[in-house]
Structure 1
Amino acid sequence: MSTWLVTGASSGIGRKVTEQLLRRGDHVAAVARRAERLDDLVKEYGDRIWTAPLDVTDTEALRDMVDRIFAELGRVDVVFSNAGSGAVGAAEELEDSTIEQQIALTMTAPIQLARAVIPRLRAQGGGRFIQTSTMGGQITTPGAGMYHASKWGVEGFMESVAPEVAPFGIGITMIQPGVVRTGFGSVLSIAPELDAYASTPVGQVRRYIQATGGNLTADATGDPEKAATAIINSADISPAPLRLALGSDSYGAIKRALEGRLAELERTKSIAFSTDFAR
């Protein structure tokens, strides 16, 4: 039996992870912007689930919540940082507020959560920090520039921090799901359209979203229950995998992206070497 802290626990993969942990007998500190959506789990599982409302973009509130959780529960074995949403639009279509919100929720909040819990995990002798990323942390799609920027940013942070905290018994894993049937599209922020982009790839993405009515994951191959199980099981893998792709679509897309970047690096190798001092 272990104790988990889950953010974004009221819906999607966060909800599935929370449900599975409770079913198997674990304790969960489940926080979400709308914590009342977890009331049914409180009714069913009683004091094995601790809930509270939290806007993870409020850094002071986030730190206070971490303090409360560790004070009241004593120990947290695994932190699952899962809150997120997406913004869609060409770079010049996006409003400043949308850019700021995307970065705050998907990059700054996980960074601040990690900074808040690492001293606690270090003091207790170790633990796991699992960060929800996406295959979009390694690939890109036109019209999702800020979403990718925030995911690539948080992946860079986590990859850098992982060896910093490894000596303290803290493992970090970035989860990279493909498209999973979670209703994620319903929380997208769609930028006002500029006519100039109507016939471009950004316009194609916008029309696809409109055609699905915002339910981008209705026909996804990714099973949220299986994804949740894989996330939970990853906490027992030693050493902690730095990245874990979930879904055949994620594996394929990431593999193609990495192979493409490596091929491009090799094509420009002579240029790279040409800038060295002559020996």
Structure 2
Amino acid sequence: MKIWFITGASKGFGREWAEAALERGDRVAVSSRSTGAFDELVNKYGDAVLPLTLDVTDRAAVADAVREVVDRFGRIDVVVNNAGYGLFGMVEEVDEEQARAQLDVNLLGPLWVTQAVLPQMRAQGNGHVIQVSSIAGVFALPGLGLYHASKFGLEGFTDSLAAEVKEFGISVTLVEPAGYATDWAGPSAVHAEHLPQYDAFRSAMARPAGKRGDPAATRAAILQVVDAAEPPLRIFFGPGPLPVIKAEYARRIAEWEAWDGVSQEAFGA
């Protein structure tokens, strides 16, 4: 039996993974900013569920929540940093409040949760930190610059984290989903005010939405990841990301090689 702590668990991946864990007999602490978001889970699973009202941008509240989970269940085996949302807008269009809020939730929120659980996991001698990133953490498109910044940042500190905590028996995994039918681009999203100078570009890049994955289909996948003896540092969810990233990295390598002469000069004699 595993003890989970999942942020942003009221819907989307967080809700699906909480239910997957509970269905097999695990214990799960679930958090959301909305009160009453987990009444149905509590009614169905009783004391196996610990519902928490939590804003992950509040570092002190995060620390309190972690203590409450440990007090209730005795340990934390798996933490899932799922809380987050999409910010849509060209880089020039995003205002200061929107930019800071995006980084607070998508980047600093996972940092505060991770920092809060690590002492407990070190004391246990084991644990697994799951960071819900995105294909947007390794590949960028126009119109999502600050969202990409938050996910690229998450990938960066998590890569360092994995090396730092390995000796303590703690595993770290970045889950990088493709497009799924969650609220990420729906009610949960924030949209910057459009500048007319980008209207032509916006129209040119507009295309019909492709097929979206079913979040429920990820249940078995996440259980395989957390149960693995040697879980991956990175894993895509969905069939689309791998060919896209292969092509993207091929382009990057080709450009670096084409400019390698200038790179060598830049180092000096």
Q: What is the TM-score normalised by the length of structure 1?
A: 0.91
Is 2:223 the partner of 1:222? no
User: What is the rounded CA distance, in whole Å, between the counterparts of 1:173 and 1:101 in structure 2?
Assistant: 24
**What is residue 256 of structure 2 aligned with on the other side?**
265
**What is residue 145 of structure 1 aligned with on the other side?**
145
**Deviation sequence 1:218-243 (CA, Å, 0-9, x none):** x5342212223212211122322111
RMSD: 1.6
User: What is the rounded CA distance, in whole Å, between the counterparts of 1:35 and 1:264 in structure 2?
Assistant: 50
1:171 counterpart SS class = strand
**What is residue 227 of structure 2 aligned with on the other side?**
236
**What is residue 169 of structure 1 aligned with on the other side?**
169
User: What is the rounded CA distance, in whole Å, between the counterparts of 2:61 and 2:149 in structure 1?
Assistant: 25
> Is the 8 Å Cα contact of residues 10 and 35 (structure 1) preserved in structure 2?
no
User: What is the rounded CA distance, in whole Å, between the counterparts of 1:54 and 1:274 in structure 2?
Assistant: 52
Is 2:29 the partner of 1:37? no
**Deviation sequence 1:138-166 (CA, Å, 0-9, x none):** 01110100000000001100001111000
**What is residue 115 of structure 2 aligned with on the other side?**
115
**Structure 2 residues without counterparts, runs of 5 or longer:** none
> Is the 8 Å Cα contact of residues 221 and 247 (structure 1) preserved in structure 2?
no
1:92 counterpart SS class = coil
Superposed displacement of residue 203, structure 1: 4.6
Is 2:194 the partner of 1:193? yes
**What is residue 49 of structure 2 aligned with on the other side?**
49
Shift >6 Å, 4+ stretches: none
User: What is the rounded CA distance, in whole Å, between the counterparts of 2:212 and 2:191 in structure 1?
Assistant: 24
**What is residue 126 of structure 1 aligned with on the other side?**
126
User: What is the rounded CA distance, in whole Å, between the counterparts of 2:89 and 2:226 in structure 1?
Assistant: 35
Q: What is the TM-score normalised by the length of structure 2?
A: 0.95
Superposed displacement of residue 59, structure 1: 1.2
Q: Which amino acid aligns with 1:261?
A: R
Q: Bigger shift: 111-120 or 259-268?
A: 259-268
User: What is the rounded CA distance, in whole Å, between the counterparts of 2:164 and 2:129 in structure 1?
Assistant: 13
Sequence identity, in percent?
A: 37
User: What is the rounded CA distance, in whole Å, between the counterparts of 1:222 and 1:42 in structure 2?
Assistant: 27
Q: Say how many residue pairs are matched.
A: 268
Is 2:12 the partner of 1:2? no
**Deviation sequence 1:145-196 (CA, Å, 0-9, x none):** 0000000001100001111000000011000000011232111111111110
**Structure 1 residues without counterparts, runs of 5 or longer:** none
User: What is the rounded CA distance, in whole Å, between the counterparts of 2:150 and 2:143 in structure 1?
Assistant: 14
Superposed displacement of residue 57, structure 1: 1.0
Q: Which amino acid aligns with 1:235?
A: V
> Is the 8 Å Cα contact of residues 183 and 189 (structure 2) preserved in structure 1?
no
Give the 5 Å matches for 1:8-19: 8-19=8-19
Q: 1:92 to 1:276 in 2, by over 3 A?
A: closer
